[in-house]
Chains A and B, each alone.
Chain A
Amino acid sequence: MIETDRDNSFDPKCVQGNILRGYHYARVRHLVLEVVNAALARRWLSQATDGSGAAPAITTEEEWLIKPASCFNLGFTYDGLKALGVPNASLASFAPEFKAGIARRAVKINDVGESAPENWASPFDTPDRVHIIASVYAEELEELDRVERQVADGLGGDGFAILGRHDGWNFDTDHVHFGYRDSMSQPRFVGVHDSDSYPDKQPLVPIGSMLIGYPTEYQNIRYAVPQPDALGRDGAFNAFRILKQDCAAFERYLDMAADSLLDDQLGEELLPVGDEAKFGPDTSRHAALREIIAAKMCGRWRNGVPLELSPDTPCPPEPVSPTDYDYGDDVRCPFGSHMRRCNPRGSTIVQRAARHTRRLVRRGYPYGGRYDPGKPDDEERGLLGNFICASLAGQFEAMMCDWLNLGLQDPRITGSNDPLLGANEAETSWFAIPLKSGRVIKLRGFPRFVTVRGGAYTFLASIPAIRYIANLER
């Protein structure tokens, strides 16, 4: 049970934006910076915290009356903090997984094979040089360019080397590659105004699950604050990931699975003859089966309608909430679907002690052009993802290694990986679709659809923490 009067005494001016609430801009640019002159880099950080000089001002959690043309945020890697001169005693007080960095935690989160760090794209193939991820959010490309110039010119240009730039954009409102609507449900926090104010059956999340220094969802557990307090408190950790999506392989697999169910008894139970009409007037059985399989794998229909509230059709006669539900049995939404694995909501899980404790704020943008199944191409496309939490080990990694992969949370999926994001191999992968009769369709033979191209564990330091770094002398 969450206490609603828990310590929420953070000051929005001190917390970086985009952690507790999303910006909802059309575009993002992530700049990968290496500190090449620590003294100049620290002076630039000083400007960024108080808006003086040429550096772009860091956006905070403060409410705005008029949406700015752009927002700007910084995430520091462990190597970045070291390069900026953070003392060894402070560096030692950070959590072990952050100190190790995402590349050294690769096996734990199943970044293996093609996704292994030795196969990552530049600049993530030299993780020790990745010091800061500077993120710019705006509606227009010109504004992204303008803010990038603010980073590249003057002090910033002398203090940092820009190792890489990664642009993401919402090519179709909230839709991402593979065709799903995304970004509908995020944690809502105790004592924090929720501007989206959508209904949700999940309990409010204590801010200690995202910001460091406050009570968490775990009974009595607080994650350690890196020292000194001015550096650690009110920060958050972020797993920045570049996730390449193989749209052609995904669509091919849907075709193949639909083919196999077309003249099959189990296929007829999954989609009773005539029910394809529920998908639209001209929808074929094959096309409807493809959409059912895509929905079962994700937990939502591709238009965003949750399976739990509309298990038979993406177009329910009455509109349903995209967020206000809890999970029941697995006939509506399979235990192994992507969404249910990553966030089982209030449903029973094996690790009862961990219920609601592994929630993440997800801020993602697609990259690459929209995929046209009629004109397959070789363009790389995927998702630039930020997975934000107070403990990378307790939330992000715990979710990745026990739930998204392995499926420990329910004995009926243990031994299988997430069908969309899991570290699958065609020879061993399986995904179960339970039917009303108790029989089960077991899909097999799907490859890893999403591979990792790069990433970094970053610390989204508070504004006082960035001032603390800026004022370091060495």
Chain B
Amino acid sequence: MSVRRRMNQLVPRRASLNDLVNSMSKSRLFGWLAGHVLVPYWARKTPVHKQPGGARATVQPGDNVQRMMNLILPLKDKTAVGRAKAAMAIASNLDEIYAGLDNVGTVHFARFVIIENNMCMISCYDGDFSNYIRDFVAQLGTVFDSVIALIEDGEAMIPTRDNIDTFINWVHDRDVYQIPDTATELLHYGTIGQPAVKSGEVADLRLIARALILQLHANPNALLGSGYRGYPGISAARIRDKMGFGW
């Protein structure tokens, strides 16, 4: 058999092998195996640091304004009555919340959402997270107390004004993990016991997808990126100043 003829027979065979491998990722069996076997195996074999929630520290001034907070706080009472109590805790403190927003001065918007027996506090604020929460507790400590009393593991924080550092950490722990805006940043999250990729080192870009999957295994909830802003880098006070609202 000539070499040419032999090659012609091999090429279709390789193509069909590629097709088979490519189609595996779309098969239900492989999908199930990947999600239920492979990822838990990876996670046990090369555990990653569970990255903290909230905005990451950054040194660029423009990246330090308009930051996102997404708290998911499981309600203790997972009935309609429990959800109603949570709604009432907010509704009965509206004046304090508005006054607090004015006095903290760095908040673009804030909202409370009840989703599947979780009280979610969602806001966009400027500057440092700890400073934002500390100023808010100074203004709205009693409001926080009435909400936190309804949340799992919240009672130890009350009164929040006397437990300010612990409360800030508690909130930070419950702030949703934010997937970095740049994919390569994922590679700087080292596995446990191993150093992260340092600047100057060559990162293995093939591991980005795996790093993302393992981080989402450790952090089931996630904000995709740091948030998409209509007017990036502009603080709440600058908008209020330009609009003549006062700040």
Question: A residues engaging B (CB < 8 A)?
Answer: 95-96, 107-108, 110, 112, 218-224, 349-354, 357, 391, 393-394, 397-398, 401-402, 405-408, 410-412, 414-417, 423
Q: Is B210 in contact with chain A by the CB < 8 A criterion?
A: no
**Contact between chains at A408 and B57 (CB < 8 Å):** no
Residue B105 lies at the interface, judged by CB distance under 8 Å to chain A: yes
Give the complex CA separation of A411 and B81 in angstroms.
44
Please give, as numbers and ranges, the residues of chain B lying within 8 Å of A397 by CB-CB distance. Answer: 128, 130
Q: Which residue of B lies closest to A348 (CB)?
A: B247
**B225 CB within 8 Å of chain A:** no
Stretch of B1-9, B113-121, B147-155, B234-242 on the interface side:
B234-242
How many Å from the CB of B11 to the closest CB on chain A?
Answer: 53
Residue of A nearest to B102 (CB): A352
* Contact assessment for A110 and B59 in the assembled complex, using a CB-CB cutoff below 8 Å: yes
User: 1/0 per residue B155-168: CB within 8 Å of A?
Assistant: 00000011111101
Are A402 and B128 interface neighbours, CB within 8 A? Answer: yes
Q: B23: CB under 8 A from chain A? A: no
> Which one, A112, A218, A410, contacts B59 given CB within 8 A?
A112
Docked pose: A107 CA to B61 CA in angstroms: 12
Complex contact B59–A224 (CB within 8 A): no
- Cα distance A1–B204 when bound, in Å? 58
Do A352 and B235 contact each other (CB < 8 Å), given the known contacts A221-B134, A222-B161?
Answer: no
Selected A-B contacts with CB under 8 Å, 27 pairs: A96-B165, A107-B59, A220-B138, A220-B161, A221-B141, A222-B162, A350-B235, A350-B237, A352-B102, A353-B103, A353-B105, A353-B136, A353-B138, A394-B131, A394-B164, A398-B128, A398-B134, A401-B131, A402-B128, A402-B131, A408-B65, A408-B126, A411-B238, A414-B126, A414-B238, A415-B61, A423-B59
B104 interface residue per 8 A CB criterion? yes
| A/B pair count, beta carbons within 8 Å | 116
Residues of B within 8 A of A222 (CB): 161-162, 164
User: When chains A and B are docked, how far (Å) is the Cα of A417 from the Cα of B141?
Assistant: 31
Task: Tell whether B70 is near chain A: CB-to-CB under 8 Å.
Answer: no
Question: In the complex, how many angstroms separate the beta carbon of B237 from the nearest chain A beta carbon?
Answer: 4
Task: Tell me, yes or no, whether B233 is within 8 Å of chain A by CB.
Answer: yes
Which of B61, B105, B164 makes the CB contact (< 8 A) with A405? Answer: B61
Contact residues of B between 54 and 104, Cβ < 8 Å to A: 57-59, 61-62, 64-65, 100, 102-104
Q: Hey, what's the 0/1 contact readout for B14-54 against A, CB within 8 Å counting as 1?
A: 00000000000000000000000000000000000000000
Interface residues of B in 188-247 (CB under 8 A from A): 233, 235-238, 240-241, 247
Bound-state CA distance A411–B242 (Å) is: 9
Q: Judge whether A408 and B247 touch: CB under 8 Å.
A: no
Q: Given the complex, which residues of B lie within 8 Å of A354, measured CB to CB?
A: 131, 135
In the complex, which residues of chain A have a beta carbon less than 8 angstroms from the beta carbon of B164? Answer: 221-224, 394
Let me know if B180 is at the binding interface, CB within 8 A: no
Contacts of A224 in B (CB 8 A): 162-166
Q: Which residues of B contact A95 (CB under 8 A)?
A: 165
- Asked if B233 and A415 sit within 8 Å, CB to CB, the answer is yes
Q: Which of B106, B130, B139, B162 contacts A393 (CB 8 A)?
A: B130
Query: Bound state CA distance, A398 and B131, in angstroms?
Result: 6
Once the chains are docked, how many angstroms separate the CA of A397 from the CA of B127? 12
Q: How far is the CB of B139 from chain A (nearest CB, A)?
A: 5
On chain B, the residues within 8 Å of A353 by CB distance are 100, 103-105, 135-136, 138-139
B62 in contact with A351 (CB, 8 Å): no
B187 located at the interface, meaning its Cβ lies under 8 Å from any Cβ of chain A in the complex: no
> What 1/0 flags go to B133-147 for Cβ under 8 Å of A?
011111101000000
Contacts of A220 in B (CB 8 A): 138, 141, 161
With contacts A353-B138, A402-B127 taken as known, whether A411 is within 8 angstroms of B237 at the C-beta atoms is yes
In the complex, which of the residues B58, B104, B164 has the most CB atoms of chain A within 10 Å of its own CB atom? B164
Residue of A nearest to B140 (CB): A353
Q: A352-B105, A406-B64 are in contact. Are A393 and B235 (CB under 8 A)?
A: no
Chain B residue nearest in CB terms to A358: B131
Q: Is B169 in the interface zone, CB < 8 Å from A?
A: yes
What is the CB-to-nearest-CB distance from A350 to chain B, in angstroms, rounded to a whole number?
A: 4
List the B side residues contacting A219 at CB < 8 Å: 138-139
Neighbouring A residues of B238 by C-beta, 8 Å: 411, 414
Which of B65, B128, B166 contacts A401 (CB under 8 A)?
B128
List 5 A-B pairs, minimum CB-CB distance, nearest first. Answer: A350-B105, A411-B238, A411-B237, A353-B135, A107-B57
Given the complex of chains A and B, what is the CA–CA distance between A224 and B169 in angstroms? 13
- Write out the residue numbers on chain B whose beta carbons fall within 8 Å of the beta carbon of A415: 61-62, 65, 233
For B59, the chain A residues whose CB sits under 8 A away are 107, 110, 112, 423
Residues of A within 8 A of B130 (CB): 393-394, 397-398
Residues from chain B with a CB closer than 8 A to the CB of A394 are 130-131, 134, 164
CA distance A391 to B137 in the complex (A): 15
Closest CB-CB distance, B143 to chain A, in whole Å? 13
Alpha-carbon distance A219/B103, docked complex (angstroms): 12
A351 B233 Cβ-Cβ under 8 A: no
CB-CB under 8 A from A406, the residues of chain B are: 61, 64-65, 127
Q: Using known A-B contacts A223-B165, A354-B135, A411-B240, determine if residue A107 contacts B105 with beta carbons closer than 8 Å.
A: no
B99 CB to closest chain A CB (Å) equals 10
Interchain CA distance A222-B141 in the complex, whole Å? 12
User: Which B residues touch A351, using CB under 8 A?
Assistant: 104-106, 131, 135
Smallest distance from the beta carbon of B235 to chain A beta carbons, Å? 5
Partner of B65 from A112, A218, A393, A414 at Cβ < 8 Å = A414
Q: How far is the CB of A225 from chain B (nearest CB, A)?
A: 10
Taking the closest CB of chain B, its distance from the CB of A260, in whole angstroms, is: 24
Determine how close the nearest CB of chain A comes to the CB of B160; give it in whole angstroms: 9
A393: nearest chain-B partner, CB-CB: B130
> A357 — which chain B residues lie within 8 A by C-beta?
138
- Which has the most chain B C-beta neighbours within 10 Å: A108, A416, A423? A108
Within 8 Å CB of B233, what residues of A?
415
A417: which B residues are within 8 A, CB to CB?
61
Are A411 and B162 CB-contacts (below 8 A) given A221-B134, A221-B137, A352-B103?
no
CA distance A353 to B106 in the complex (A): 11
Contacts A96-B165, A350-B105 given; does A408 touch B127 at CB 8 Å: yes
Q: In whole angstroms, how far apart are the Cα atoms of A188 and B165 in the complex?
A: 26
- Whether B247 lies near A350 (C-beta < 8 A) is yes
CB <8 Å contact, B106 and A350:
yes
Is there contact, CB below 8 Å, between B57 and A108? yes
Interface centre among B61, B62, B139, B166 (most CB of A within 10 A): B61
In the complex formed, the residue of A with least CB distance to B166 is A224
Kindly list chain A residues whose C-beta atoms are within 8 Å of the C-beta of B247.
Answer: 350, 411
Chain A residues with CB under 8 A of B166: 224
